Amino acid sequence: MVATRRTDGVVVLASIAVAAVVAALPQLGASSYSQILVYYAAYYLALGQSWNLMSGMTGYVSFAHGALAGIGAYAAVIALNAGWPMAPALLAGPAVALLASFVIGATSLRLRGVAFTFATLFFQELALLVLRKMPISGGPGGLALQDIVPIWLPQLLMIVLACGATIVMVALRGSRTGIRLLAIKGDETAALSLGIGAAKMKVALFCVSAAIAGGAGAIHGLFTASLYPDVVFNVDVSLIALAVPMIGGVATAMGPVVGAVLYVCIGEAFAIFAPSLHVVAVGALLLLVILFMPTGLAPFIAQRLCRQSPRATNAVEGRTP
Amino acid sequence: MTPVLEARGLRKTFGGVQAVRGVDIDVAKGEVVGLFGPNGAGKSTLFDLVAGAIAPDAGAVHLDGRDVTRLAAWRRARLGIGRTFQITRPFRDLTAIENVLAAVPRVGAPGRHDADAARATLAKVGLGDRADDISGRLTLGMLKRLEVARVLALQPTLLLLDEPLAGLTGREAAEILDLIVVLKSEISIVLVEHNVRQSLPVCDRALVLDAGEVIAVGLPDEIRVDPRVLKAYLGEEGRPRC
Amino acid sequence: MTITLALQLLVNGLVVGGLLGLVALGLALIFGVMRVVNFAHGEFITLGAYLTWLIAGGLGMSPLLGVPVAFLAGAAVGWAVQTLLISRVASRPSLDMLMVTYALSAIGLGLFSLAFGGDFRSYSEGPNGEVHLAGVSIGLRGLTVLCICALLSAAVMALLRSGHVGLALRAVAQNREAAASCGIDTRRAERTAFSLAVGLAAAAGSLVSLIGTTTPSVGHDWVLDGFVVVVVGGLGSIPGALLAAVLIGLVQSFCGFVFDDAWAKIITYVLLYATLLLRPQGLLGQPMEA
């Protein structure tokens, strides 16, 4: 365990270093096109890590993360339009998402099996329906941010959030709590018999995960500056939150990094060649990964590169292939 | 002296089947109680009821004098009830040592629960050199022993062992029985086993279950020749076998 | 509310309920026999809908022909999917299976968008006009859908209650290992259950295209309500699914009139949450572990 702690420390420092470089890109003269790509990579990474934290670690699949990000976006934009200062307005995003997740989690995580997954699936639909109706959210016509924010702010914030979420994941994986969460994922009955308070841990983790997703949504609301319910609550966003970690490497810290970069590349490639194939390609890739390398791309590659004992580093190893 | 475990009138019905029908069981400190009976007698269900995995239809469970009947399984584990499963339930993607570290030690337990302690526990069950192996790759015999190591990490006061010897070689089984003898000075143990001949010698008392009811309770030598027990197992009367 | 209006809403509710029942029947079958939640079920509904649109709108033939065609096509696709994909992942943790069906759903949705675009498709072939009964006017299309749903549901129930196939399916659903040790080919039972369920979904899609418009996400919308029905009825319980389908169909019909369609959906989802909170096993299901 000591060895992996040291490598985890290295990973954390490397993440911060990379994030700092990436954040400084605008200063270094990178084109605005590449800046936008970097932004989206950070956004997908933040979303993916938030999903990974909950569903990757416990095995309880959430389809709500897109909606959680969405309500975060609406909360932040509504707060800003109402004259709130920047910091509290942005915090409104994670706060609202946390509240919603607490309600969903406290009700459905008492139960095992798919109850939670269904609850999150319907939350997505419910959020869309409710937000289309509420006058405060501008209805189906959408909501615009009244004072446009300079673009470097969401760019910087998203990079910080993505880096922070990754560090949280590294810390979790190296901790006793992380082991216990994976125990819940592996066999919840056995975990309960060993004194693990599964229900409470699941709810707490879901709330943390939701707060991150809500934060990502809030920042993204600043970036896009206008919100349309059908776009914000599109099932695509939940697909991203899920596909990025599953393809990259579930329950690992580096997996979603690989997944996010890959997603951005696929997106760009298909935007040029075949715009409508994007979703099909992601679905097909997800299917292939599940069938042939279920631990994800990062662990698969890591094992090919360094053929040593199965515990290379907590950041990259997921589960028994 | 309060018994470690005192269960009264436990009753559980599944659909149309009465799995446990009014069972009482007492376990004193430092005692090993053997729980025997033919297949389907309700032994595993009784374990589930005592450990809190399922709720009884009637009856009460007291641990060290405290009523735990309404407590969830994980809370009972934190109070000191540890149990193993008839079919092993390892956390397959975790290493052996991570399996042991996953346990949450009993509230107020004196021992440390860190990596070194976990390795020591694994060594106690003969898995010292397997600590960093992924548990999904271990053999059945090793998994049985891992299950014991894992539950020991709880530092329980009451240990419910569900067929710990099944699937073990003769030598492995003897080692586990030796371990039980060593443990019993600190931990009270209820032992379910089919291998009556090998396990009866380590028991201080024995209980025999048949069709959800206790049909005999007493010292091992008494149980061995009890006609009701022989009838339950063998279907014939009055033929002592050992 | 007049009696006539109430009867009208009742009939509408039964039509929706009938369709939901067909969808939920498939979902309950798959979950009951295989313990799999088929997140791709909606895409099979969409498949049936587009196939029927092609037959009616494209070839000008009766859309009623679409029902058996969709059923057979769906069953064939279901057979292939189960054999090639689902069975490979069956022994893995349930997370993997969920991802497989979800990935299939994404692929299906994408393919339909690609092939047909986002336009709303409909056709005028098929039964048209109305029937008047006791002051209530029932569209012939709706009536046809209701009749076919009832027929198909009854046929499936009959299949399950009697005969080798039904017995095998019920045995595997109740206790897989015991069924295997009785000589029942469990893998074949799973293939049968899955293809039958997917065939039903496609048939339902065919009927959906008759009374509504077809879009790439039409199946997705129906299957969401299908999931509500299955949870409210009790996961894995077939009678529960049918009962809950009628219930939800009626709730949506009446609430849709009294408030509006969006509120009807909101109320449906609230019902779902209430079920999870108060009675997780649904109306007729087994208690879920907690």
Residue A135 predicted with pLDDT over 80: no
Whether C176 shows a pLDDT value over 90: the answer reads no
Query: pTM of the full predicted structure?
Result: 0.90
For chain A, say whether B92 makes contact (Cβ under 8 Å): yes
Q: Does residue B105 sit at the A interface (CB-CB below 8 Å)?
A: yes
Give the mean model confidence (pLDDT) for residues C6-23: 91
How many A×B Cβ pairs under 8 Å? 87
By three-state DSSP, how is residue A307 classified? Answer: coil
Average pLDDT, chain C: 88
Q: What angle do CA A54, A290, C227 make, to 5 degrees?
A: 65
- SS3 for A177-199 is HHHHHHHHHHCHHHHHHCCCCHH
- The residue in chain A having the minimum alpha-carbon distance to the alpha carbon of residue C31 is A114
Q: Please check the confidence at residue C148 and state whether its pLDDT lies above 60.
A: yes
Query: Are the CB atoms for A260 and A308 separated by under 8 Å?
Result: no
Q: Is A195 in Cβ contact with B77 (below 8 Å)?
A: yes
- Residue listed under structure tokens 């910080």: A160
> Does any CB of chain C come closer than 8 Å to the CB of residue A283?
yes
Nearest to B15 by CA among C229, C98, C175, C159: C175
Per-residue burial over A156-188, b = 16 or more CB atoms within 10 Å of its CB, e = otherwise: bbbbbbbbbbbbbbbebbbeebbbbbbbbbbbb
What one-letter code names the amino acid at C239?
Answer: P
Q: Chains meeting A at 3+ CB pairs closer than 8 A?
A: B, C
Is residue A265 less than 8 Å (CB to CB) from chain C? no
Nearest CA-CA distance, residue A112 and chain C, Å: 6
| Strand B66-67, strand B58-63: pairing | antiparallel
Interface test with A, best of C276, C279, C286 (most A CBs within 10 A): C276
d(CA B52, CA B5): 13
Instruction: Indicate the helix (H) or strand (E) that contains B210.
Output: strand B205-210
* Percent residues over pLDDT 70 in chain A: 93
**Residue C62 confidence (pLDDT):** 84
Contact A203, A106 (CB under 8 A): yes
Torsion (CA) B147, B152, B153, B158 in degrees, nearest 10: 120
Query: Can you give the pLDDT at residue C289?
Result: 39
CA A129/CA B121 separation, integer angstroms: 55
Q: For residue A262, what are its two tokens?
A: 């890959």
Q: Quote the CA–CA distance of B22 and B19 in Å, as a whole number.
A: 10
B192 phi, psi to nearest 5 deg: -95, 130
Neighbours of B170 (CB within 10 A): 9
- Dihedral angle sign, alpha carbons of residues A211, A216, A219, A220: negative
**Between chains, do A311 and B106 touch, taking CB under 8 Å as contact?**
no
Written as six digits, the tokens of A267 are: 């997106």
Q: Decide if pLDDT at B132 tops 60.
A: yes
CB contacts < 8 A, A to C, total: 112
Query: What does the pLDDT read at residue B17?
Result: 86
pLDDT on residue B236: 52
Residue B198 CB neighbours (<10 A): 15
Interface residue A192 vs chain C (CB under 8 A): no
Tokens 């109320």 sit at which residue? C267
Q: What is the CA radius of gyration of chain A?
A: 19
- Rounded to whole angstroms, what are the CA distances from C151 to B110, C219, C247? 68, 21, 19
Alpha helix (H) residue ranges in chain B:
43-51, 73-79, 96-102, 115-124, 140-152, 170-183, 196-199, 220-225, 227-234
User: Would you call A319 an interface residue with chain B, using a CB distance cutoff of 8 Å?
Assistant: yes
Residue the block writes with tokens 């997954």: A117
Smallest Cα distance from A193 to chain B, Å: 6
Token pair of C92 as six digits: 């893995």
Residue A304 confidence class, pLDDT cut points 50, 70, 90: confident
pLDDT tens-digit readout, B9-28: 999 998 788 889 989 999 99
* A311 near B CB under 8 A: yes
Is the CB of C89 inside 8 Å of chain A's CB atoms? Answer: yes
> Which residues of B are less than 8 Å from A194 in CB distance?
74, 77, 82, 102-104, 150-151, 153-154
Distance from CA of A178 to the nearest CA of B (A): 9
SS3 C91: coil
Q: Which amino acid is at B35?
A: L
Residue range A82-122, pLDDT digits in tens: 999 999 999 999 999 999 999 999 988 888 778 899 889 98
Q: Which of A148-157, A304-313, C47-56, C113-122 has the lowest mean pLDDT?
A: A304-313
Q: If you ran DSSP here, which 8-state letter would residue B103 be given? A: S
The alpha-carbon radius of gyration of chain C (Å, integer) is 19
Whether pLDDT at B235 is above 70: no
Residues 6+ apart with CB under 8 A from C86: C34, C36, C97, C100, C101, C190, C194
| DSSP β-bridge partners for residue B11 | B21, B58
For the segment C110-140, what is each residue's pLDDT rounded down to a tens digit?
899 888 888 888 888 778 888 887 777 788 8
Residues contacting residue C161 through CB under 8 Å, at least 6 positions apart: none
Average pLDDT, chain A: 87
Q: Can you tell me which residue has the tokens 């990490």?
A: B153
Is the pLDDT score of A11 beyond 90?
Answer: no
Per-residue pLDDT tens digits for C243-279: 999 999 999 998 888 888 888 888 888 888 888 778 7
Q: What's the confidence (pLDDT) of residue A78?
A: 92
Lowest mean pLDDT among A70-74, A114-118, A199-203: A114-118
b/e C100-132 (16+ beta carbons within 10 angstroms → b): bbbbbbbbbbbbbbeebeeeebebebbbeeeee
Give the Cα separation of C205 and C218 in Å (integer): 8
Q: How confident is the model at residue A1 (pLDDT cuts 50, 70, 90)?
A: very low
Mean pLDDT of C164-189: 85
Judged by CB atoms closer than 8 Å, whether chains meet at B102 and A197 is answered as: no
pLDDT band at A312 (very low <50, low <70, confident <90, very high): very low
3-state helix, strand, coil in chain B (%, to 5): 35, 25, 40
Q: What is the pLDDT of residue A160?
A: 94
Rounded Cα distance, C97 and C86, in Å: 7
Q: Please answer whether residues B183 and B124 qualify as being in contact, where contact means their C-beta atoms are separated by less than 8 angstroms.
A: no
Which residues in chain B are closer than 8 Å to A174, comparing Cβ atoms? none
**Cα Rg, chain B, nearest whole Å:** 18
d(CA B232, CA B40): 12
For the cut 50, the answer to whether the pLDDT of residue A18 exceeds it is yes
Which residues have C-beta within 8 Å of that of residue A36, sequence separation ≥ 6? none
B66-117: per-residue pLDDT in tens?
Answer: 999 999 999 999 999 999 998 999 999 999 999 999 999 998 888 888 899 9
CB contact under 8 A, A194 and B93: no
| DSSP category for residue A148 | P
DSSP string, C223-282: HHHHHHHHHHH-TT-HHHHHHHHHHHHHHHHHHHHHS-HHHHHHHHHHHHHHHHHH-TTT
Rounded CA separation C22/C246 (Å): 11
Provide, for chain A, the percentages of residues in helix, strand and coil under a 3-state DSSP scheme, each rounded to the nearest 5.
75, 0, 20
Residue A313 pLDDT level (bands cut at 50, 70, 90): very low
Residue A4: predicted pLDDT: 60
At C288, the pLDDT band (50, 70, 90 cuts) reads very low
Worst-scoring range by mean pLDDT, A67-76, A300-309, B12-21, B229-238? Answer: B229-238
pLDDT value at residue A169: 95
Q: Which of B54, B83, B88, B89 has the most A C-beta neighbours within 10 Å, making it the best mutation to test the interface with A?
A: B89
Look at A113 and C288 and tell me if their CB atoms are within 8 Å: yes
Give bridge partners of residue B21 from the DSSP assignment. B11
Give the residue from B101, B156, B97, B77 showing the smallest Cα distance to A194. B77
